[in-house]
Amino acid sequence: MTNVKSRFAPSPTGRLHIGNIRTAIITWLFVKSQGGEYMLRIDDTDRERSKDEYTQAIKEDLTWLGLTWDDKAHQRDREDRYAECIEQLKKDGRLYACYETEEELALKRKSLLGRGLPPIYDRAGLELSDAQKDKFEAEGRTPHWRFKLNHEPIIWNDLVRGEVAFHGKDMSDPVLIRNDGTPLYHICSVIDDIDFGITHVVRGEDHVSNTAAHIQMTEALGGNVPNFAHLSLITDAEGGKLSKRLGSLSIQELRENEGLEPMSIISLLSRLGTSAPVEAMMSLEEAAKDFDFSKFSRGAPKFDPQDLYRLNAKILHTLSYADVKDRLPEGIDENFWNAVKPNLEKLSDIDSLAQIVNGPVEPVIDDQDYIQEAAELLPSDPWTKETWSAWVSSIKDKTGRKGKDLFMPLRLALTGQQHGPELADMLPLIGRERALNRLKKSA
């Protein structure tokens, strides 16, 4: 059996975002579930828009997520190989020159649509004589080159969509070479997939029609046609088109500004659109264990950023002090971590909780007499997790208060906040001296 090999092929024209990182994650999990190879291919033939800083950022984001690669390549290093294959296609009659301008092509499309016909290119370029071509060249026109599709069925068994069928006669011959002589994504990608032995291509369903043409290009170049998995495109939480704001959420932003754990992103995006439950997973190995494309639906999965925070909180709540100690602020020990982690949504939340413990805190008080009585009943050292219970019990006996009237004024006086971690856990961290000072300040 051929070893599985797939690739993630971003263009370094910006940061990785939710839309394209989902493909990277799913491809990686599939490959690793099969014991195969994962390739990072940088599609940087667009020299004007491609930036080295984005290439480096892509690698940093993938590394942070744990999506390591076994092989890598840059398309800009392979231009000679592309030229060689393009010349072969020209010799074989599968690439032909066309001289229409953008305006002329737009008029042709408009005319066909106006007659209720699909806007399929009429192959006028194939009918040009040498004299006509010379005339266009004399006018200063340079040709773009189209791939001549065979008018025959194109059928494949998609790993997500099942059997997919096109017919060459129902498709326009795709442009593969611009009129400035530069090759387009389609032909470069096909050549790369052949040369690097790619056995599986994972991408969005918006590429389905491209795949039909790519299959014929692969065959024309004598390559092995890979397997394909076309993923449904994610929508927003209401099922509408993913907004630019949500779709462009970068991994850098989620990591640095939002403070999310990498596995929260893996956990959500790997399960969106599948029959498997979305749940917090602790490792890539766990996520890859039961990976199966048959679990993916053709329905559009909904992306809600709040799910990321929910999963992130669950992941943090399971982490030990050893897991996070190198990432914690100075002075946070194991007791502190264990006390506050059930209240964390993001790791950065620990800063505000440290503020509650260490101060300064501005106490909030409505009943000074009650807080004065509570201060007088404050237990002596040493303080343990049982101190809170003993304290409030004595306050209850003395004042007759109970429930919210008993607890809330104490919380406000000690922390300045209505909500937060259990005071049974926090009180030993705050310590008697700080607690007494806050109560006295309140009183």
- Tens of pLDDT, residue by residue over 171-217, are 999 999 999 999 999 999 999 999 999 999 999 999 999 999 999 99
Residues 263, 315 contacting (CB under 8 angstroms): yes
Q: What type of residue sits at position 99?
A: Y
- Closest alpha carbon to 373 in 417, 424, 428, 410: 410
Model confidence at 392, in pLDDT bands (50, 70, 90)? Answer: very high
Say if CB 254 and CB 262 are below 8 A apart: no
**Structure confidence at residue 1 (pLDDT):** 45
CB atoms within 10 A of CB 138: 8
CATH 3.40.50.620 residue spans of the chain: 5-81+183-231
Region 305-320: mean pLDDT is 95
Give the pLDDT confidence score for residue 151 in this predicted structure.
Answer: 97
Please give the torsion angle defined by the CA atoms of residues 185, 190, 192 and 195, in that order, rounded to the nearest 10 degrees.
-160
Going by DSSP bridges, is the β-strand pair 175-177/5-8 parallel, antiparallel, or unpaired?
Answer: unpaired
Token pair of 337 as six digits: 């971590």
* Comparison of pLDDT for 46 and 38, the residue scoring more: 38
Which residues have CB under 8 Å from 53's CB, separation 6+?
Answer: none
Instruction: Give the pLDDT confidence of 250-273 residue by residue, as tens digits.
Output: 898 888 888 899 999 999 999 999
Rank 177-186, 213-222, 405-414 by mean pLDDT and report only the highest: 213-222
pLDDT above 60 for 85? yes
Mean pLDDT of 113-139: 95
Mean residue pLDDT across the chain: 93
What stretch(es) of the chain map to CATH 1.10.10.350? 349-442
Please state which CATH class domain 5-81+183-231 belongs to: alpha beta
H/E run at residue 177: strand 175-177
Tokens of 127: 């009918």
Other C-beta atoms closer than 10 Å to the C-beta of 306 total 8
For the segment 408-433, the average pLDDT, to the nearest whole number, is 91
3-state SS assignment for residue 246: helix
- At the top level of CATH, the class of 349-442 is mainly alpha
In this prediction, residue 58 has a pLDDT band, given cuts at 50, 70 and 90, of very high
Which CATH topology does 244-324 take? Answer: Glutamyl-tRNA Synthetase; domain 2 (1.10.1160)
For residue 3, pLDDT over 90 is answered with: yes
- Phi, psi at 186, each rounded to 5°: -55, -55
| pLDDT higher than 50, residue 157 | yes
Strands (E), 216-283: 227-231
On whether the CB atoms of residues 16 and 250 are closer than 8 A, the answer is yes
Q: How confident is the model at residue 2 (pLDDT cuts 50, 70, 90)?
A: low
Question: Is 2.40.50.140 the CATH number for 93-177?
Answer: no
- In this predicted structure, the answer to whether residue 237 has a pLDDT above a threshold of 80 is no
**Domain ranges in the chain with CATH number 3.90.800.10:** 93-177
Q: How many CB atoms lie within 10 A of CB 275?
A: 10
CATH 1.10.1160.10 location in the chain: 244-324
